[in-house]
Structure 1
């Protein structure tokens, strides 16, 4: 009897062991949950996979499911665990799990597989998919944002990604895992691949730029364009301003950068700046800055009209020549500006027009005008425009020999034909009876006499000499009556 019981116990124990050892499951190939490529970043890095397993009852209560990510070639020999479930948390099939890719992920042929721990089982790998973690996904600069480059015939020009990343420049060189592709434009919307690397030596004219290598994932990690040209003698290039142009001089200096060269000389308003012999020059002034760059076998020069007021403005009147208003008409002067919370002040002959505070002013009289535009928020600064307005001269036929400056609005000034007034380049001279020159101008404005005449004589007589642009002379007298 004892032998029988012992035999039964051993038989039951061996059956239990055989059942435990023989418990297995099969895990299906995981399917990608709604994605064909993983283009992750700090703002998005969550992906799903779905898989089945069978039989469900063979799972141990301590089982964990693990998601492994292959390397960029699809090999699991050095796989990375991207998800581990809690013990016993997944007991029914199918199951959907979420995971995130590591920040150094970069390649076109990653795969995923699922493993279980109790019992031990492993699925086959998923379909291959591109995966990149875009650790840097903003535009960056090359060559200090100088948009041109020049090399001497037979030479080359070096394009470099700017580093380190400071201020608004998030340099991708801060991230050692990143690689870069260089391209040459073939049209405004197309380009061809040129090379990989942190720099590019250019020996062919064209427009070049760099992109961070995120493979088939779209990205905002790209550089500015640089147009490179070949020079056999002296060429021209450009200058960049680190704070833009215009910039706010009251908030600090801007750095001017030229193209790469062997030596440099900077100028301001045509005058050499002593000691300014580096590729970069820092300033907080406005003006015309230029630089000569020695490239070795040739030279190049560049210039920039630097404005330190921090905003732009335009006015729709002529600032170079006189603005003429025809009879019974007005001139509407209008300002357009990027100034923040702008304020406007208008002046006539340096006297403030207190009632005019808008960005436009309707003008109906002659004079020297000025408008000031003030930016009152941020970079507090002021810009001004000056211009001249004249009423159109009446088209009289003859030169008068009599005027009556008595203030009645009739014949108060000596008004002569348009062929001799402002804009005609005619020389007008008026002399008194003693031969003393009273007025001499090449821009007569039909405005003599501007001051009251002393009537020592009953009707004083003056004399005029008009010499036209083609050297024809007109002479005569002017009698002044009350």
Structure 2
């Protein structure tokens, strides 16, 4: 009787226990959709696929996360690079998308998948190289110098420019980056040998050197110019660099000439010493042959550059001031050596939309301007002006009364042709208290050019006309409303 009772109780306990058991969620090893992650500002999207079983174990609140290890594959302090929304992933296999942080740099990263409800963790993925290329453009060393020399038994220092000239994107602006220096193979310029790491390199052996930002096995555009370093001899020379290139675009302003590091310098232009030009850099906006003598301490070297500009020349075949009778026109034609020039014509500072050729036929009185733009190479612009007016009336006497009321008659002080524009006659007009209101050697029969403010009824002004041969005419002008 006791034996039977014991067996019954055991069976009941077994049934109760098995009734509460649930299967454990298993997540497979992540399958990477890439071999290495070489990310940057323009691309940072990667995919991973995994399986999980049984699907029925997932609850409605479950979330999947992707964790990224450190650069050695260690998950002691992982970085979560993706988290799904609750209940979003319910069927297996699943593919998730993620991005790597901008501090990522190493050759042995791994990822793993975790679930929250129920809690489960996959094994880690295969190791992969991952770098975020925070700087991915060419940069300069030693101000783009192509050649440098060092004294026998001494060395020459190559350094990454910070910030450098122009638009140089110096990688030194990003403290997390490291750098590898290389020496170019003398027999095969397409290969090179690793020399050292760091932001500078002390060169004691002749050769051609350059530096790259260390992005491991990921390729990048973050590399420097090459500098050929040699030991100084009695005839050795180095280089001068122009910050705006050579030829340089003069419309961009002055260019900075620079040479290699030295103890002291003396600059020359066209063989003549430039007084006070004793620094490593010299700023100029003039073309010419520039040279510099550089004292390296135990030896001396020199450098030169034939600096040229890429500006252009233009001319126009009309006079500054032109007169036409009613019905006549003036044809202005521009001659220029600009590359692929564009032309814009203006009348009284208003663009003439249809005028886009090298010539324009002016039929209206006023001031004209043409802007010539070189659109290839050095983008630069020149402008030239001219005016078109009616012939000056040939009055016999100097008037002593004007009425600037806008009726088109006697609105300005019109004097004989012998005293107007082109005769080099000085015209001076003074107020009744002796203040100069006009003084010119190019009178256009256009005074008053602005509306006069009347403080008196019919104010009086005085004129003094002095011709080129010093003959003087004086008188008064009464202004009537």
TM class, shorter-chain normalised? 0.5 to 0.7
Compute the displacement of 1:379 (Å): 2.1
Compute the displacement of 1:308 (Å): 2.1
Match of residue 273 from structure 1: 274
Match of residue 298 from structure 1: 299
Compute the displacement of 1:46 (Å): 0.3
The equivalences for 1:117-136 within 5 A come to 117-136=116-135
Compute the displacement of 1:80 (Å): 0.7
C-alpha spacing 1:165/1:153, structure 2 compared with 1 (3 Å): closer
Alpha carbons 1:27, 1:53 under 8 Å: kept: yes
The total of aligned residue pairs comes to 319
Alpha carbons 1:310, 1:381 under 8 Å: kept: no
Alpha carbons 2:23, 2:54 under 8 Å: kept: no
C-alpha spacing 1:167/1:17, structure 2 compared with 1 (3 Å): farther
RMSD: 2.8
C-alpha spacing 1:119/1:17, structure 2 compared with 1 (3 Å): farther
Match of residue 393 from structure 1: none
C-alpha spacing 1:116/1:338, structure 2 compared with 1 (3 Å): farther
Compute the displacement of 1:166 (Å): 6.0
**Which TM-score applies when normalising by structure 1?**
0.62
C-alpha spacing 1:283/1:30, structure 2 compared with 1 (3 Å): same
Alpha carbons 2:166, 2:243 under 8 Å: kept: no
Query: What are the Cα deviations for residues 307-327 of structure 1, in whole angstroms up to 9, with x where unaligned?
Result: 123489xxxxxxxxxxxxxxx
Match of residue 339 from structure 2: 339
Q: Give the distance between the partners of 1:178 and 1:269, measured in 2 at CA.
A: 44
**Which TM-score applies when normalising by structure 2?**
0.62
Compute the displacement of 1:375 (Å): 6.8
Match of residue 329 from structure 2: none
Alpha carbons 2:109, 2:128 under 8 Å: kept: yes
Q: Give the distance between the partners of 2:342 and 2:294, measured in 1 at CA.
A: 40
Alpha carbons 1:151, 1:231 under 8 Å: kept: yes
Q: Give the distance between the partners of 1:239 and 1:342, measured in 2 at CA.
A: 34
Match of residue 259 from structure 1: 260
Matched, 1:308 2:309: yes
- 2:101 counterpart SS class: coil
C-alpha spacing 1:311/1:291, structure 2 compared with 1 (3 Å): farther
Matched, 1:110 2:109: yes
The equivalences for 1:66-465 within 5 A come to 66-164=65-163, 167-186=166-185, 187-233=188-234, 235-310=236-311, 339-341=339-341, 376-377=374-375, 378-380=379-381
- 2:380 counterpart SS class: coil
Alpha carbons 2:143, 2:164 under 8 Å: kept: no
Alpha carbons 1:184, 1:193 under 8 Å: kept: yes
C-alpha spacing 1:147/1:17, structure 2 compared with 1 (3 Å): farther
C-alpha spacing 1:289/1:118, structure 2 compared with 1 (3 Å): same
Moved more, 201-210 or 247-256: 247-256
Which segments of 5 or more consecutive residues in structure 1 lack a partner in the other structure?
Answer: 1-10, 313-336, 344-356, 358-373, 383-482
Compute the displacement of 1:188 (Å): 1.7
Q: Give the distance between the partners of 2:60 and 2:236, measured in 1 at CA.
A: 78
- 1:245 counterpart SS class: coil
Match of residue 28 from structure 2: 28
Q: Give the distance between the partners of 1:114 and 1:45, measured in 2 at CA.
A: 19
C-alpha spacing 1:233/1:183, structure 2 compared with 1 (3 Å): same
Query: What are the Cα deviations for residues 420-466 of structure 1, in whole angstroms up to 9, with x where unaligned?
Result: xxxxxxxxxxxxxxxxxxxxxxxxxxxxxxxxxxxxxxxxxxxxxxx
C-alpha spacing 1:340/1:227, structure 2 compared with 1 (3 Å): farther
Compute the displacement of 1:30 (Å): 0.2
